[in-house]
Structure 1
Amino acid sequence: MSHRSLAAARVGRRTALAGLIALTAAACGPGSADGGGPDGGGADAGATNGFPLELTNCEATLRFEAPPERIVLLESAPVTTLDGIGVLDRVVSRAGAFPPGYYDEDLTARIEAIPALSEDIDAAGHLQINQEVVIAQRPDIVFGLPDGITREAMRGAGAEVVVQDVFCGTDGERASFETLYEEIDTYGRIFGRAGAAEELTGALQERVAAVSESAKDLRTATAAALYPSLGGGPLYTYGAASMVTAQLDALGLQNAFADTAERVFEISSEPLLAADPDVLIVLYQGEGDGSDVVEEMIAKDQLSALRAVQGQQVLPLLFNFSEPASPLVVDGLERIHEWLHEIEA
């Protein structure tokens, strides 16, 4: 089956699995019909409790006097977490790529309504933007720290910068879905939405558990995730600290490069051919189904001898469906699971 036909076939199976998981969540979800959170009221109860708030983010200590009201997004990954805890309407501007393939029609429309500062992405997938453009938006919180943006300048303009924890370095710790749940908890604390954060985490935990249970009959044993740079740049793969490893662990698969502690690192064709994993996941950014990215990667990096390539067991997947930690990684887990069942059928 070609990469394009696999992309089309995934739609029907994803719909069926989504219905199964929705029924599972309805049957055993912890929330009640009145929306009450574990703090005794609604998800917003006591929203200003806990402020001023100080927390550590990478090498920095962040301080918030009150829940932020003006968000600037310099990456797409936080979107579904912010939406899940009910604060996406506080985003005043965005920059970077926000492919509609990540979201349903309603969320896509809301994102497109947010003013875009820049959509300039280099070949490695990095946002190009001027710091003064960001400061002009008068944010009190900024998500993402691309080249040319500094915490010091943002703080001087009244904004704290939040970076995804997986980008901070993990001291060799293996990533798990706890990484995601901790990230959601942090967002809940920052915005005074602890109850909403717990509800979101509970729903995601149920979905992960449903996929793990269904994946027990998979025959596939090993996988690797790759990120090919566009325009002839290096090829990257993902190690133990990546959310790719968390996804594969949940599916009962071995990441062929999980013995490397790094989250992401360059790889040549030789170690990839030596590992020869059963399946490949190719992460990409931008529009389309990613089949052109796969074809270019195979030709450029001389990977046609891989079993996964010869058997057409290669899945193109939009980047945020595997990296970094966000609810989209659970969507990605479900997509990988559905695809594995398709190729084993």
Structure 2
Amino acid sequence: MYKPFIKALPGVLGVLAAAIALPATAQSTHYPLTLDNCGVTLRIAAPPQRVVTVGQSATEILYSLGLADRVKGTSVWFTPVLSQFREADASIERLADNDPSFESVVNKHPDLVAAQYEWHVGPTGSVGTREQFAELGIATYVMPADCDSKDNSTGGDGTRTAAFSPASVYKGIAQLAQIFDVEPVGARLIASLKARQADAVARAKALDLPEDLSAVFWFSSPDTGVAPYVAGRKGAPGYMMQVLGIHNVIRSDDEWPTVDWETIARADPDIIVIASMDRRRYPADSVAVKRAFLHQDPVAREMRAVKQGHIIEMNAHAMSATLRTIYGLDTLVDALSTMSFTR
């Protein structure tokens, strides 16, 4: 079994050491296990031995829980796998960089399919519906971060009915740990992520940032120069901004609304955070394309953030509701520590 990942920053070593040293209070999972997962009752008869993941979040959580040997196929990748899992990941078949076919998933003979997004295996699943998998005796699990306090029936990336909280990510970690009977490992992983966030927030407070500091998060655009996909106020980027005391200039509750550049320019954010990814579905998936547009477009180049060089690159996966969101806090704080803000 692959060694689980527990990473500590210098400022939180003591916290993590204490958490890891505590005796595990979690009990062994009793099977059959019944869970409510995104409105579906999930029944697990025994620890899954063969898993296919549809989404990088599910993949990296299973790796972090020390379960890489159970993963028989992966798909839907935005960025490279976390560095500590490169060796393990290299030995596991990647079914597709984006959406895999239903047949390719089924052909791996999984007893569990773990998905990051409900639209992959939900009622109108682009890969397959939960009912289709159930007919073949395959259980499906959707990460709670994509369905808790979120309405996915609106189409697209869905709409948040309440602000994202990492509690939904921790819930996913805890439930997967329970499903696989590795609850103490899950508890330690959650403790490490909480400690990492606490450290990032403390460092941000020490920077004495302007109280009205504002930002926009740009994920991508369907074409160069058209209205970009930017982060709504209730998603993972909204959460990062909220805990660090940054104002999101986008007021939509949609996960990734399209907002024209004239509207963004009028808001004139202090910071522009751009997603960095390997995916190339759209031209603006590229950081180089994003940067070139910001400096060349007659509207965008007049924004304060562009003129002052306050453009931050962030791993695209951190902008989704995943454990990488906590890493995104580090990215923001590290970049902010190098900036000065003048109005």
Q: TM-score under structure 1 normalisation?
A: 0.80
Residue 135 of structure 1 corresponds to 106
| Correspondence list, 1:86-235, <5 A | 86-97=66-77, 99-100=79-80, 102-104=81-83, 106-119=84-97, 127-144=98-115, 145=120, 147-168=126-147, 170=149, 172-216=161-205, 217-220=207-210, 221-229=213-221, 231-232=223-224, 234-235=227-228
1:239 aligns with 2:219: no
8 Å CA contact 1:224–1:277 kept in 2: the answer is yes
Which structure has more RCO (C-alpha within 8 Å, separation ≥ 6)? 1
1:276 aligns with 2:268: yes
8 Å CA contact 2:274–2:287 kept in 1: the answer is no
Partners in 2 of 1:92 and 1:72 — Cα distance? 6
RMSD: 2.7
Partners in 2 of 1:132 and 1:22 — Cα distance? 46
8 Å CA contact 2:144–2:172 kept in 1: the answer is yes
Residue 339 of structure 2 corresponds to 343
Q: Quick one: percent identity of the two aligned structures?
A: 21
Residue 253 of structure 1 corresponds to 246
Report how many residues are paired. 308
Partners in 2 of 1:116 and 1:28 — Cα distance? 33
What stretches of structure 1 of length at least 5 have no aligned partner?
Answer: 1-17, 40-44, 120-126
In the TM superposition, residue 28 of structure 1 has moved relative to its aligned partner by 5.9
Partners in 2 of 1:205 and 1:300 — Cα distance? 40
Matched residue type, 2:12 = T
Residue 82 of structure 1 corresponds to 62
Residue 38 of structure 2 corresponds to 58
1:37 to 4, 10, 24: 24
Matched residue type, 2:135 = G
Partners in 2 of 1:302 and 1:114 — Cα distance? 45
In the TM superposition, residue 135 of structure 1 has moved relative to its aligned partner by 0.6
In the TM superposition, residue 214 of structure 1 has moved relative to its aligned partner by 1.0
In the TM superposition, residue 213 of structure 1 has moved relative to its aligned partner by 0.9
What stretches of structure 2 of length at least 5 have no aligned partner?
Answer: 1-6, 151-160
Q: TM-score under structure 2 normalisation?
A: 0.80
8 Å CA contact 2:55–2:77 kept in 1: the answer is yes
Residue 155 of structure 2 corresponds to none
Partners in 2 of 1:28 and 1:114 — Cα distance? 30
In the TM superposition, residue 111 of structure 1 has moved relative to its aligned partner by 0.9
